[in-house]
Structure formats: structure tokens, C-alpha cells
Amino acid sequence: MDQLRGQELKEAFSTATGFLEEHRDVVNALNVFPVPDGDTGTNMLLTMRSAIQSASEDCPDGENHSVGAVSSALAQGAFFGARGNSGVILSQFFKGFSDALAGKEFLAADDLTLAFKLASAATYESVGNPVEGTMLTVIRMASEALQGSDSDLPALWEVAYQASQDALAGTREQLPVLKEAGVVDAGGLGMVILIGGALRSISANGSSGVELPELSRFHGTANAIGGPVKTKFLDTTLEQEWGYCTQFIISSVDGRDLDIGQVRTHFQGTTRSTVVVGDQRNVRVHVHLEETGPALSYAESLGAVSDVKIESMDSQNERFASSSHSGAVALAVLSIVQGEGLAHMFRDSGCAGVIEGGQTMNPSVRQIIDAARSTNAVDVIVLPNNGNVVLAAEQAAVAEPSIHVVPTKSVPQGVTALLVYNPEDTWEENVAAMTAVLSEVASVEVTAAVRGVTIGG
């Protein structure tokens, strides 16, 4: 294979996204830098999904699209859908590809070399204080391995994949916190999985005979990527104060261009884990800080602020440490029902927890959060099963990011939602599937009146 068409490039990164989803929990389990909060795999996956969705919408299947158009759509989707430190950096990986492939009909070997080079430059530029032993290092070493190579396209991608694995293996010695925790870098592993997943797609379409990567080995943690995070390390992290992970987009207003350099300089001096990316029209900011107010006020002085996400890293750290200690399950369902009979039925149908509540006894937000945490699951789907309880459940989800609400307004809707629940799927897939079936439910409720009455004769 000498070159890739736009559709093949999209398929390559779509395959890569599938592999990342398969190994997301492994990536999450290694996440100790910059904050031990166990969400790197999830953040990278959500960013990739946004990139693929953008490419699918702008460059639909069945049509001929250039690699320039596809890479631009991938970059746009990754930028606007970026989640977390790792997701914003990942968006800049795609920016490098977009810059290298602008105006290109096909991707050839020399284009791939340039794409990785610009991707590395963009990721380093985006970070206020670049640290080696992270996903930055993995991208850079993959890029450096390609320089000067005259291999064909699949073989060149294989070179990048092998170099990324070598870089990942070395992260433990480059970053002391990884060595202390006994793991390699989570974001670096995410990049290895993405590069390897894309290679599998490209090799399957070609005839070079390049051996396909065995990504299943990443399920094992004994040798290649280190064991579970050391208990002593996790206990130490609980003694620290982490503050808030804060993200937002600033958009220009009234025709005024944004100065990304000015924004970057401002936040580098006042925040941690600073990643600022974008252009004169839109700038995405990711920072860690103790007080969110000043950061948002500054952003609002520059333009329109949107896509604001503020998460307590102390809460995330506590959940991650707890799940690492106890071997938490990935996903659970919590139902709110009234009466022991319904409670038994919902437990038998797969609910990990049940809260007593309903029409006349609505549970509080705190009760829902506490019950969700008691399931010992990384993510919890809540079924309110009553219209009066939906708001409290949604407020709990705002306060606790691990809670996700399927807005069931009756017991029949709750039962129907459980019928399509699949614990092997992600919470995003389950919430979408469970919510989709609610409109198909029609129910009639018969209630005993408080007193007799005659209406209309």
C-alpha cells in the first residue's frame, strides 16, 4: 500500500477508537499523573468519539473525501469534544495531522512522517510545562523514529507503533511519580493503543505482510505496563489537596481576534497542568486550580465562554483510590422504588442498589450520591422511576460525575430500561440505549381515592 484515501484514514482511526474502548479500563487503572483520578482512558475515548463523529458527519461513508478533509474534521471534532488533560493534548495530535495533510488528496509515506512531526510539535506547544515520561514523549519518539525512513506506509506505521511501545516502557524511569506508583504513563499507553489500532486497520487493507499488533496483551499488567497502582502511593495521594479540574472554550465576539499566546501566558502563571489550544476564533483552556472564579472571570473578559466543566479532583482521587483498593466494578445500576416487593424485583433484574422512595417519599440528593458510592462502581446509572425524583437524581449527577441518569418516570419505564441494560457495554452506550426505549412504554396507574366523589352527575 503506497497511500491512504480519506475513507481509509477515517476507518483507521475508527478502528483505533474501538481498541481504546476495549482497553479503556486498563488505561484508567494506571492514571496517576498529573492527578491520580483514574479517568485518562475515558477522557481520551470521549475525545476520539467526538473526532470520529465529526469526520462521519462532514465526510460520510460512500463518498470520496480527501485525507485533508477527513483530517480537518477529525481535528475539529477532537478540539470541541476534548476531555481532560489527555484529551486536549490528543486533540493537538490531530491538529498536527490536519496541518500536514491540508490540501492533500491522499496520505503517502512522507505525509505520515510530516504528520507525526507536526503532531509532536503541536502537543508540546500546547502544554505550559511539558513533562517527559508522558504521552508527549510517546508521540515525540514515534515521530523521531519515522524521520529518514523510506519504508512503505504500513511498514512506516509499524515503525511508529514499535517506537511508541519503546517510549512507553521508558516512562517509568523518566517520571519519578510513575516509578513510585509502579506503573507506566496512562496517556502514553492510550497513544500506543491508538497507533496500534490504526496500524491494524491499515495493515488489514494492505498487502505488505506487516504483522498485526497484539493489543490484547495490554489486558495483562504484570510485565509490559506495570502492576496495579501501589497501595502506599494511593494512600499518600489522599493526604494531598488537588483542587478543581476546569475546562472551557473562549470564543471571539464582535470581530475581535483572540490572542492565544496571551491566554496561554496568563494561565501558565496562575494554574497547574495548563493546556491552552486553539486559534483566533476559539481557544480551549484546561487548567488545575484551587479557585475557579478568577479563571472564568478572566475568560469572560476576552469573549464568550462555553463548554464549562468543573470537577473536584479531590473527589475523583478518593473514588480512584477506593476502586483501586477494593477492585470496583466498572458499572452498576441504582433504582429508586417504593416497597419491598419492587425492591426485590429490581435487585433480581440486575440492580446493584435500591433506594426506598417514590411519589410520597422522595430521596434527597445526598441519599442518591451515598447510595451510588456504596455500589462500589466506577460509574452508576440511576433510574428514578418517578417524575418527582428525576430532578433530585439529575442534581446528584451534577454533584457527582460518576452518576448518570436515565430519566424513568414510572416503574414500567424502569423495568423496560433494565431489559436493554448490558453490563459489558459502556455507561454512555447503556444510557443511550435505556433512554431510547422509554418512549415506547405506555402505562396506566390505578390509585385508591381518599374519599368518594361524583363528577358530572
User: Which among 87, 141, 145, 104 has a CA at the least distance from the CA of 9?
Assistant: 104
Does domain 244-315 bear CATH number 3.30.70?
Answer: yes
Q: How far is CA 355 from the centre of its chain?
A: 29
Give yes or no for a contact between 351 and 333, defined as CB atoms under 8 angstroms apart: yes
Cβ neighbours of 78 (radius 10 Å)? 29
User: Would you list the domain boundaries of the chain?
Assistant: 3-237, 244-315, 328-440
Q: Which residues of 352-387 are buried (b: 16+ CB within 10 A; e: fewer)?
A: bbbbebbeeebbebebbbebbbebbbbbbbbbbbbe
Give yes or no for a contact between 135 and 189, defined as CB atoms under 8 angstroms apart: no
pLDDT in tens, the chain (457 residues): 688 999 999 999 999 998 888 888 788 878 776 666 677 888 899 899 999 999 999 988 878 899 999 999 999 999 998 888 899 999 999 999 999 999 999 999 999 999 999 999 999 998 878 889 999 999 999 999 999 887 788 889 999 999 998 899 888 888 888 887 777 888 999 999 999 989 988 886 543 333 444 444 444 333 344 555 555 555 555 455 668 888 899 999 888 899 999 998 998 877 777 889 989 999 999 888 888 888 899 999 999 999 888 877 766 656 665 655 455 567 899 999 988 889 889 988 889 889 988 777 788 888 898 888 777 777 899 999 998 899 999 998 888 878 999 999 999 999 999 999 998 788 889 999 999 999 888 877 776 666 776 666 6
Would the CATH topology of 244-315 be identical to that of 328-440?
no
Q: Give, rounded to a whole angstrom, the gap between the first and last alpha carbons of the chain.
A: 84
**Separation of alpha carbons 392 and 89, rounded Å:** 35
User: Which among 147, 112, 142, 120 has a CA at the least distance from the CA of 4?
Assistant: 112
The residue behind cell 497507533 is 195
Torsion, Cα of 105, 68, 190, 281 (10° steps): 180
Structure-block grid coordinates of residue 343 = 425492591
Does domain 3-237 bear CATH number 3.30.450.20?
Answer: no
Size of the chain, expressed as the number of residues it contains: 457
DSSP annotation of 226 reads B
Q: Is the dihedral of CA 151, 153, 154, 157 positive or negative?
A: positive
State which H helix or E strand residue 48 sits in.
Answer: helix 40-58
Q: How far is CA 372 from the centre of its chain?
A: 21
Give yes or no for a contact between 313 and 297, defined as CB atoms under 8 angstroms apart: no
**Separation of alpha carbons 51 and 71, rounded Å:** 9
- Backbone φ and ψ of 395, nearest 5°: -65, -35
For domain 328-440, give the fold.
Answer: Rossmann fold (3.40.50)
